[in-house]
Amino acid sequence: MGKLTTLKSRLGTAGSRLATLTQRPGATPRLRGRAAVDRRERWLMEHPCCVECRKEGRVVAADVVDHTVPLWKGGPDDESNFQSLCQTPHHDEKSAREAAERAKAR
């Protein structure tokens, strides 16, 4: 269960970082707290592999529950918009792409 502790503390950091981002009009409010943690763990139990790695023919454990359409673009904060990703490279790459796109949209 050491692994779960690590994942939770990382999620805590991400949550406080995201809380400092300004909510833009049209962005979907994010579920937070215990309910969000439970939902994330349930999703990863059911969808344990990175979907992008699978497309490349590899089976890699996912680290991240990603919103396929980002919340800041109005993507829903529910399971219709979830995908499992590994942190590196796939979530890092997607985050970098979206940060660039978001910076341009300002």
Q: Do the beta carbons of residue 71 and residue 65 sit within 8 Å?
A: no
Smallest distance, Zn ion to C-beta of residue 43, A: 16
Distance of alpha carbon 19 from alpha carbon 98, whole angstroms: 17
Q: Give me the residues that bind Zn ion (CB under 5 A), please.
A: 50, 52-53, 86, 90
Toward Zn ion, which CB reaches closer, 52 or 71? Answer: 52
Closest approach of Cβ 52 to Zn ion, in Å? 4
**Residue count (the chain):** 106
Its sign, for the CA torsion 70, 71, 76, 77, is positive
Residue closer to Zn ion by CB (options 74, 89) is 89
Q: CA–CA separation, 23 vs 64, rounded Å? A: 22
- Measured from the CB atom, the residue of 23 and 88 that comes closer to Zn ion is 88
Taking the complex as a whole, the smallest distance from the CB of residue 64 to Zn ion amounts, in Å, to 9
